[in-house]
Structure 1
């Protein structure tokens, strides 16, 4: 058995379902992988855990990957995407009167301390005709619709298929701005990443890990109700409501498998390059970055 330490980006949710399905069915063990699943501790992000040598593979946002590569020499690449579509949105209260990103000028955005997303939010406002004049706040409940409901911020970046479903079931009406609808071609919101040295040395281990993971996501795509029941065993106590989990899983399962390849995990180089060129045009990159430097599909089946 080959040990592989894998860390989540957030508390367990439907974006991670394929991993939980593979664990449940024993597919990692069948592949010879002794998986050590690490939950996010909110002191170290996934990429930081890679750099510290306490994790081998991590979930992170493509946006964070791009930002990290710009500021740090630690070489990392995305080796798979969890979902084929960007399910993240900038959310505001429906009753706020904010009908498009440009109207966020002079408003507040609930951020995390790392602040990787802040420049992108400001750039989105500018690309929609605004000035990008936004106040960044750092509430305790980051990336949560609750920050809006409790008036700690006017906007927040959430996953519509998870926090968005939570808000809907709680009777909180949100308006969602998807980056791609406003000239920002954000592609893969959640990707698996690894250090390039680890990729080179442990390619066969990673191939086995990704094959088992792909099997898990394919199963989750075909069995959303059963997947919700498995997910129940993993989520935080506050999320242990089957009505919510079934709704969230139903909103997520259709996005795991590529309609082009019929498989899980593959990233389209054209989409990644379009996003990177947008970042460069918005001044979020000081040098030209090509997709080949950030992503690889070589370990996927």
Structure 2
């Protein structure tokens, strides 16, 4: 059959161009087989924390680096377990939530290798005029809590730092996925949000809000969230591949900084279920957060990283003391 097709092609006037196209296709297929396959696990559904990854995939930055990267949704027990198991080489996590995985006899072989954002953009959002533009104002109000010890300790710290009584905050166990509806319905009064997504959602919806950021109350809370984590053991054995991966991801986030609209379009193409207006507004906000004031995307400041874990140690929030410089590594950034 192949011989018959070839005979027809050779008889055609466009023999050179057609044969050339066939050769290019074969070459691409061969080249694709030569790519190193990696799996990257998200922390949640696609959003603007992840834009650089999708840009790197769409623009061919991964392929240029000799990589074929599959981006997958996280399992119930989170990205940390999947990365530690070796089923994924990289994933998204957060300095606060990855902390339990870094200590004790059951510590997992994971570490943060790049900061997606340079600063903690999370804080408390509430309906404008309800008196919660500062932490003390949460007294007597309903706060949607995940019932996590570290979460409640953080909130207690900022409320008391503002002269408030944390015991007067009404904790409502709830996992809010739609901040606008939750605030408009008054099912809760205050929500912990990452402003680049949850806060921007209220702006797009035209809901007036008050907001305060944790890092503005206590500098120890300017921790890294989110971060890209990797399997420590795998990365040691595959240093060049790790550097190539992070270099491609860096290009993706730098594209998002330079062209937020184009990056938003790429994210919406990868996740068409997202609201385009929301993504574009979020991307415009995030372009100033990916690198902020630092020159190198992904850099983790050891002083800020350690400050947060030292605060955890000082407040007895970890069964095992967390040593300095635990859980991060800047060595793979270029």
- Alpha carbons of 1:103 and 1:280: their partners in 2 closer, same or farther (altered >3 Å)? farther
Unaligned runs of 5+ in 2: 1-34
- Alpha carbons of 1:279 and 1:140: their partners in 2 closer, same or farther (altered >3 Å)? closer
1:44 corresponds in structure 2 to: 77
Q: Do 2:116 and 2:227's aligned partners in 1 also have CA atoms closer than 8 Å? A: yes
Q: Do 2:41 and 2:92's aligned partners in 1 also have CA atoms closer than 8 Å? A: yes
1:16 corresponds in structure 2 to: 50
2:318 pairs with one of 256, 280, 285: 285
2:266 pairs with one of 220, 230, 240: 230
User: Is the aligned partner of 1:146 residue 2:204?
Assistant: no
Task: Give how far 1:250 is off.
Answer: 0.8
Task: Give how far 1:258 is off.
Answer: 5.3
SS in 1 for 2:191: strand
- Alpha carbons of 1:126 and 1:279: their partners in 2 closer, same or farther (altered >3 Å)? farther
- Alpha carbons of 1:284 and 1:126: their partners in 2 closer, same or farther (altered >3 Å)? farther
Tell me the TM-score normalized by structure 1: 0.88
Task: Give how far 1:140 is off.
Answer: 4.8
Aligned partners of 1:86 and 1:96: how far apart in 2?
Answer: 24
User: Is the aligned partner of 1:57 residue 2:90?
Assistant: yes
User: Is the aligned partner of 1:299 residue 2:299?
Assistant: no
1:211 pairs with one of 244, 247, 253: 247
Task: Give how far 1:124 is off.
Answer: 2.8
- Alpha carbons of 1:219 and 1:37: their partners in 2 closer, same or farther (altered >3 Å)? same
More helix by share: 2
- Alpha carbons of 1:89 and 1:235: their partners in 2 closer, same or farther (altered >3 Å)? farther
Aligned partners of 2:185 and 2:307: how far apart in 1?
Answer: 36
- Alpha carbons of 1:145 and 1:47: their partners in 2 closer, same or farther (altered >3 Å)? farther
Aligned partners of 2:198 and 2:309: how far apart in 1?
Answer: 27
Aligned partners of 1:143 and 1:118: how far apart in 2?
Answer: 21
Q: Do 1:69 and 1:76's aligned partners in 2 also have CA atoms closer than 8 Å? A: yes
Task: Give per-residue Cα distances to partners, 1:192-215, cap 9 Å, x unaligned.
Answer: 112322222232221111010001
Task: Give how far 1:216 is off.
Answer: 0.7
Q: Do 1:67 and 1:116's aligned partners in 2 also have CA atoms closer than 8 Å? A: no
Aligned partners of 1:211 and 1:108: how far apart in 2?
Answer: 44
Q: What RMSD, in angstroms, separates the aligned Cα atoms of the two structures?
A: 2.4
Aligned partners of 1:97 and 1:59: how far apart in 2?
Answer: 34
Unaligned runs of 5+ in 1: none
Q: Do 1:64 and 1:117's aligned partners in 2 also have CA atoms closer than 8 Å? A: no
Aligned partners of 1:114 and 1:36: how far apart in 2?
Answer: 31
2:202 corresponds in structure 1 to: 167
Tell me the TM-score normalized by structure 2: 0.80
Task: Give per-residue Cα distances to partners, 1:70-102, cap 9 Å, x unaligned.
Answer: 575223211100011222222122232223223
**Greater CA deviation, 191-200 or 136-145?**
136-145
- Alpha carbons of 1:148 and 1:158: their partners in 2 closer, same or farther (altered >3 Å)? same
- Alpha carbons of 1:81 and 1:287: their partners in 2 closer, same or farther (altered >3 Å)? same
